[in-house]
């Protein structure tokens, strides 16, 4: 499938020559690339690194890739903006890596799985609806704009879920746990919205109905 260059941006409003239809409500364009996360930057140890898919898998088994095996997965590319809930947006990123759909095809969920918890180093987590994980623009990224990620930006692997606020994309991601019952992740437990759609400005948990 010709999926490179998949574009996660909203369609622009008719006749707009500027970027006004491009930014979700309350966001502003950020020049450069800020570093934002909770806690320390983990040190990458290739011999200790693995990537796991577990929980409510189709066959009940856990899948584990070591660093070398993960490199053999088919790669793809997604062009997408990043929207942080703290109101900055980083435009025109090309993320490359392993598209979530590819990973889910290799390690599918059980029929009754509805959500996924995505786990990173030091216990950081973010929950997603399965549909959000399966969006064609959701990608486990190794590179941005052709450059390998730096340690502070998530090397060796970070999730990008461009249609949701960026906290839904863990840097230093290590696992996907399929869930049959939704559970809140790290920021979702700390007052942030369970879904986090920037176009609906779903920032905080008190906005949930
Ligand atoms: N592991 C981990 N991933 C994380 C975070 C974090 O605290 N820990 N913060 C998220 C938030 S809120 C944002 S805005 C982006 C920031 O990515 P950047 O530092 O590459 O700009 O990382 C996301 N991924
Ligand atoms: Mo953020």
pLDDT in tens, 134-176: 999 999 999 999 999 999 999 999 999 999 999 999 999 999 9
* Protein residue whose Cα sits closest to atom 9 of ligand 1: 37
pLDDT of the residue at 19: 61
* Protein residue whose Cα sits closest to atom 21 of ligand 1: 35
Q: Which atom of ligand 1 lies nearest, measured to the CA of 159?
A: 24
Residue 17 lies in a domain: no
Residue 166 lies in a domain: yes
Neighbours of 194 (CB within 10 A): 19
- C-alpha 83 – ligand 1 centre gap (Å): 11
**Which of 11-20, 25-34, 86-95, 193-202 is predicted least confidently?**
11-20
* Protein residue whose Cα sits closest to atom 18 of ligand 1: 35
Does any ligand 1 atom lie closer than 6 A to the CB of residue 35? Answer: yes
Rg (CA), the chain: 17
Does any ligand 1 atom lie closer than 6 A to the CB of residue 120? Answer: yes
Residue 1 lies in a domain: no
pLDDT of the residue at 3: 40
- C-alpha 8 – ligand 2 centre gap (Å): 18
Among 24, 36, 151, 162, the mutation site with the greatest number of ligand 1 atoms within 8 A of its Cβ is 36
Q: Pick the ligand that lies closest to the CA of residue 157.
A: 1
Residue 61 lies in a domain: yes
Which CATH number covers residue 147?
3.90.420.10
Domain extent, residue 153, equals: 24-31+48-207
Q: What is the pLDDT of residues 38-74, one digit of tens each?
A: 999 999 999 999 999 999 999 999 999 999 999 999 9
**Which of 12-16, 90-94, 123-127, 160-164 is predicted least confidently?**
12-16
Q: Please state whether the peptide bond connecting residue 156 to the residue before it is cis, i.e. omega within 30 degrees of 0.
A: yes
Residue 10 lies in a domain: no
Residue 182 lies in a domain: yes
- C-alpha 140 – ligand 1 centre gap (Å): 14
Count of domains observed in the chain: 1
Q: Which atom of ligand 1 lies nearest, measured to the CA of 172?
A: 1
Residues 62-83 as b/e (b if ≥16 CB within 10 A, e otherwise) read ebebebeebeebebbbbbbbbb
Cα(159)–Cα(78) distance, rounded to whole angstroms? 12
Does residue 109 contact residue 58 with C-beta atoms inside 8 Å? yes
Residue 144 lies in a domain: yes
Residue 148 lies in a domain: yes
């Amino acid at each position: 499938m010709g999926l490179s260059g998949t574009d996660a941006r909203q369609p622009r409003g008719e006749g707009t020559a500027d970027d006004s239809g491009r930014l979700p409500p309350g966001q502003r364009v950020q020049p450069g690339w800020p570093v934002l996360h909770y806690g320390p930057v983990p040190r990458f140890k290739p011999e200790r690194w693995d990537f796991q898919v577990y929980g409510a898998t189709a066959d009940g088994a856990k899948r584990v890739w070591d660093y070398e095996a993960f490199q053999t997965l088919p790669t793809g590319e997604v062009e997408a903006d990043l929207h942080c809930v703290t109101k900055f947006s980083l435009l025109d990123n090309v993320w490359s890596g392993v598209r979530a759909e590819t990973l889910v095809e290799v390690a599918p969920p059980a029929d009754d799985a509805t959500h996924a918890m995505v786990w990173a180093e030091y216990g950081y987590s973010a929950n997603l609806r399965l549909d959000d994980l399966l969006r064609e623009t959701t990608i486990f990224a190794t590179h941005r704009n052709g450059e390998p990620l730096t340690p502070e930006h998530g090397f060796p692997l970070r999730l990008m879920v461009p249609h949701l606020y960026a906290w839904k994309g863990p840097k230093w991601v290590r696992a996907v746990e399929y869930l049959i019952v939704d559970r809140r992740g790290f920021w979702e437990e700390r007052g942030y919205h369970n879904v986090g759609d920037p176009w609906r400005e779903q920032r905080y948990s008190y906005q949930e109905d």
